[in-house]
Amino acid sequence: MPLIEYRDALNQAFAEEIERDPNVVLIGEEVAQYDGAYKVTKGLWKKFGDKRVVDTPISEAAFIGMGIGAAMLGLRPVMELMFWSFATVAYDQIVNNAGQIRYMSGGLINCPIVIRGPANGGTSVGATHSHTPENWLAAIPGLKVVSAATAYDAKGLMKTAIRDNDPVMFMENTLLYGEKGEVPEEEYLIPLGKADVKREGTDITLIAHGRAALTALKAAELLAAEHDINAEVIDLRSIRPLDEDAILASVRKTHRAVCIEENKPFCGVGAQIAAMISEKAFDELDAPVLRVSALDAPAIYSPKLEARQLPRPTDIVEKVLSIC
């Protein structure tokens, strides 16, 4: 299989879906002539033109609202946010319109929109540009939330998200855009709500999403090499819907679990999963479910300090050793 960058895997997904469905449009700041702030939409404007790849003013409230209205009328917009932190100015539209319209209309109106962009710290752009809001959005019934760790997953999940009739919040990571991975040339889809076992193991389950899944894999390698502990790594891929069956099956096998995320700890994704495991598989546990997350403070501007703020493989190893 060809080895391509994460950003190019997304680009392929957009191109294939634009060609497949005349209702798919890309909308956002600098997505057209400039090829996207992170070059994810490179070449698409030149190939598909102004009506399929549309630049917008710098107003997330305006263009997200416009995209939601277009989705209600039958288009399938893919909306780019330069940072997911900027979604806060469009939160009313996302939560009260996109998230509720199918329910409020008795199933008569769908909102097949994808809102995407980077949701991460670690790039020294300050607290107002470094939020990881997947837990905020996953708390809203009606919204689907996706986070891909690899180029393969990014393409397959994006294609599925574009075809979904519900609003899908697609969380990316600027630190992953240049990461390469194998992506098949033939078409494939990855269903939402299906986790992936990135590494099989027997001694403990590491549960993560997005870039944290790659951090968990590095921790698993350290545990195997230095401590003879065989860790299983579950990549959620989809936060809502959540693949509870895959998580519980792994925990019933290993009897221990650590949740890893780049979210803040309070009301984080890991908190939800830890509660779910405790409720549904308590008798299978040989130790408490532990969590590794970002330090509970606004994103630090200093590169050295911010690197310490995010989960590291050694942080995970330390947690694992405390219960293994």
> Which residues are catalytic, by number?
60, 129
Residue 28 identity (one-letter amino acid): G
CB atoms within 10 A of CB 122: 18
Q: Strand 204-208 relative to strand 257-260: parallel, antiparallel, unpaired?
A: parallel
- Asked whether 171 and 145 are in contact (CB, 8 A), the reply is yes
Residue 79 and residue 116 in contact, taking contact as beta carbons nearer than 8 Å: yes
Distance CA 269, CA 133 (A): 10
From the number of C-beta atoms within 10 Å of its C-beta (0-12, 13-18, 19+), residue 15 rates as middle
Alpha-carbon distance values, 178 to 111, 149, 315 (Å): 31, 12, 25
Q: Which amino acid is at 226?
A: E
Q: Cα–Cα distance between 317 and 226 in angstroms, integer?
A: 10
Burial 130-164 (b: 16+ CB within 10 A, else e): bbbbbbbbbebebbbbbbbbbbbbbbbbbbbbbbb
Query: H/E element holding 304?
Result: helix 303-309
Number of helices (H), then strands (E), belonging to the chain: the values are: 12, 14
In the three-class reduction of DSSP (H, G, I as helix; E, B as strand; rest coil), residue 259 is classed as: strand
Are the C-beta atoms of residues 221 and 124 closer than 8 Å to each other? no
Bridge partners of 26?
A: 53, 78
